[in-house]
Amino acid sequence: MIAIGGEVFMMNSVTQQHFDANDQAALIDQTRDVRGRTTAFTPVTDLPSGVTARLAYQPTFVGSSFAGGVIQVKEQRAGTRTTEGRGFPVIPGLAGTSSPWRHVMQEVLAARGRSEWLVMEGEAGAGKLSMLRAAHEHVASHRRLAVLDRAEDESTREFPERAHTELESGADPVINHAHLLPAETRDGLAELLQLVSSNAVSKDPRVALTVHSDKLDDELASQLLRFFPRTVVVPPLRHHLEDIPALVRHLLNRAGNSGLALSGPAMNQLKRLARPGNVTHLSEVLAEVSRKRRSGIVEVDELPAECHATCRRRLTGMESPGARRGGRRTGCPRRRQGGCGCRSGHVARHDLPEDP
């Protein structure tokens, strides 16, 4: 059940438990079509998981005043919880159904299922470690995943020893931020990986590395990457913007803000935001929103200030501060032609190029 109103949005726990983040995002998108309606309405929608849902909307009134509405969500046709026709399973802990995201996830699932050693490459915050965790839980939940993170551990001297201990215990190690390891530590890990590949330490471990795309070098490749037969490149968020609604729903639920939702215009504004930190940056933006609102519908003007400064383009000579001070370089051409009455040095409105 979903309740909506002017300042209210609530999704009960049964709905949250029954539908994953992708389906929840699709349901929320459908509620925008019924918000403000004063008559009953029953749309039917196909959800990303392959389930067809029936949304029975009933308006509510306080006296004669319209107060909002209640939507009962029922599965009209239950599926196998996969994206129909594409053979893509729903993976707990991940959100997104775009083609680039599904393609990468299928590669990771296949590699983990074959116990293949894997390098996850991508920009900071793109979701490399999250994808590894989710894939491991999906195909090898009986094995423990041990994450060794260089970014969180100032000391690297014992890194190879710790990895050795995890391997002997039967865990599957992930060396997170491997590009940050110094050369000496890389050499120690290379010796360990050579032993592991010859079955001298552990039997059939699933070893993985995560690296940033802009930090790869020949030294890292010669020391560590040569042990890994496959590299999977995780796309940055700007390459699968259609996943943002599902990601927003997933991140808000994970933070305990299930009663908070974004309006359509606010969601569109997030899609325009330049986010150098990818999903991590998006999570920080939502955390800032959540500090001020814990429930209801977030509108565009309630987003952080950075979300409103989305247009970045190089200033032309006419727009540059120096040109504006000089006046001679930027005097209105119509004035020089006798067709404008603006003052000398004034940058007239018709001089400025229009935004694309």
What are the phi and psi torsion angles at 33 (to 5°)?
-75, -20
Same domain for 330 and 295, yes or no, is no
Mean of all residue pLDDT scores within the chain: 78
Cα three-residue angle 248-91-148, rounded to 5 degrees: 85
Q: Report pLDDT for 271.
A: 87
Same domain for 158 and 49, yes or no, is no
Q: Report pLDDT for 122.
A: 92
Among 110, 131, 332, residue whose Cα is nearest residue 233: 131
Q: State how far Cα 341 lies from the chain centre.
A: 52
Domain assignment of residue 89, yes or no: no
Can you tell me whether residue 334 is helix, strand or coil? helix
Domain assignment of residue 227, yes or no: yes
CATH number at residue 216: 3.40.50.300
Beta pairing, strands 82-83 & 260-262: unpaired
pTM of the prediction?
0.66
Residue 235 has pLDDT above 70, yes or no: yes
Specify the higher pLDDT residue, 209 or 311: 209
Percent of the chain past pLDDT 70, that is, above it, reads 78
Specify the higher pLDDT residue, 336 or 260: 260
Specify the higher pLDDT residue, 313 or 3: 3
Specify the higher pLDDT residue, 35 or 314: 35
User: 173 forms bridges with which residues in the sheet?
Assistant: 146
* Cα 20 from Cα 96, distance rounded (Å): 10
CATH number at residue 298: 1.10.8.60
Domain assignment of residue 91, yes or no: no
Summarised one tens digit per residue, pLDDT across range 152-171 is: 765 666 788 888 899 888 89
* Cα 63 from Cα 29, distance rounded (Å): 29
Same domain for 217 and 149, yes or no, is yes
Same domain for 191 and 218, yes or no, is yes
Alpha helices in the chain (DSSP H): 13-18, 21-34, 99-113, 128-139, 159-168, 183-197, 218-223, 244-254, 264-272, 278-292, 321-326, 333-336
User: 296 forms bridges with which residues in the sheet?
Assistant: 260
Same domain for 142 and 210, yes or no, is yes
The owner of tokens 């939507």 is 71
Q: Report pLDDT for 77.
A: 57
Q: State how far Cα 190 lies from the chain centre.
A: 32
Same domain for 333 and 302, yes or no, is no
Summarised one tens digit per residue, pLDDT across range 220-232 is: 888 888 899 889 9
Same domain for 341 and 288, yes or no, is no
Most confident among 213-217, 260-264, 317-321 (mean pLDDT):
260-264
Residue 89 has pLDDT above 80, yes or no: no
Same domain for 116 and 204, yes or no, is yes
* Cα 270 from Cα 244, distance rounded (Å): 8
Q: Report pLDDT for 312.
A: 47
Q: What is the mean pLDDT of residues 114-128?
A: 90
Which of these three, 177, 208, 233, is where a domain ends?
233
Domain assignment of residue 245, yes or no: yes
Q: Residue 46 contacts by C-beta under 8 Å, 6 or more apart in sequence?
A: 52, 53
Same domain for 140 and 203, yes or no, is yes
Same domain for 251 and 336, yes or no, is no
CA of 151: how far to CAs of 55, 175, 177, 236, 337, in Å?
Answer: 46, 10, 6, 20, 62
Q: What is the mean pLDDT of residues 292-307?
A: 88
Q: Report pLDDT for 328.
A: 42
Q: Residue 75 contacts by C-beta under 8 Å, 6 or more apart in sequence?
A: 51, 52, 53, 54
Which of these three, 185, 200, 233, is where a domain ends?
233
Same domain for 217 and 267, yes or no, is no
When divided into structural domains, the chain yields a total of 3
Long-range Cβ pairs for the range 82-88 (8 Å, 24+): 82/49, 82/50, 83/48, 83/49, 83/50, 84/50
Domain assignment of residue 94, yes or no: no
Domain assignment of residue 161, yes or no: yes
Per-residue confidence band for 14, with pLDDT thresholds at 50, 70 and 90: confident
Same domain for 215 and 283, yes or no, is no
Beta pairing, strands 52-62 & 44-46: antiparallel
Domain assignment of residue 88, yes or no: no
The answer to whether residues 149 and 177 touch, using CB atoms and an 8 Å cutoff, is yes
Domain assignment of residue 206, yes or no: yes
Name the residue range of residue 77's domain.
Answer: 2-82+240-308
Work out the burial of residue 317: count CB atoms within 10 Å of its CB; fewer than 13 is exposed, 13-18 middle, 19 or more buried: exposed
